[in-house]
Amino acid sequence: MNIFDLPELPLSEEVTTVLAENNNVRIERIISTRQVSGWYDQAETEFVALLEGSAVIEYETGRSVALEKGDTLLIKPHEKHRVSFTSSEPPCVWMCVFY
C-alpha cells in the first residue's frame, strides 16, 4: 500500500484504514476533506502526524492547534478534543498511532 493512494475525491465521509494493530497499538491512515468530528474522550494516547493538508484540533478547554503538512501532535488519554477543520485541497492525510 502507498500511504498517498487516495480514494476518489471529494469524500462524503472520512475514510479510515487500519494499517496495523495488536493488543497494545493501532495505526490508522485517515483521509478527510472538510469533515469535522464530534468530541472525542478516548482512553488511549494518540500520536497524530498530518502528512498532507491542513487541519485544526480544538480542545474542550478552548485551546486549538492548527496543523500543517508535517506537523505532529500528542493527545493524552481523556483529553477531550475534536477536529474542527480539515482542508479539501489538498485533502488531509493523517497517520494516527493509538496506544
CA 85, CA 22: separation in Å to the nearest integer? 30
Q: Can you give the pTM of this predicted structure? A: 0.93
Q: What residue type is assigned to position 7 of the chain?
A: P
* Segment 12-38, tens digit of pLDDT: 899 999 999 999 999 999 999 999 999
CA 9, CA 32: separation in Å to the nearest integer? 10
* Segment 56-99, tens digit of pLDDT: 999 999 999 999 999 999 999 999 999 999 999 999 999 999 99
Residue 7 lies inside a defined structural domain of this protein:
no
> For cell 475525491, what's the residue?
9
Q: What is the largest CA-CA distance in the chain?
A: 38
Q: Reduced to 3 states, what is the DSSP secondary structure of residue 20?
A: strand
Q: What CATH number does the domain containing 75 carry?
A: 2.60.120.10
Residue 6 lies inside a defined structural domain of this protein:
no
> For cell 500511504, what's the residue?
3
**pLDDT for 11:** 86
**pLDDT for 86:** 97
Residue 88 lies inside a defined structural domain of this protein:
yes
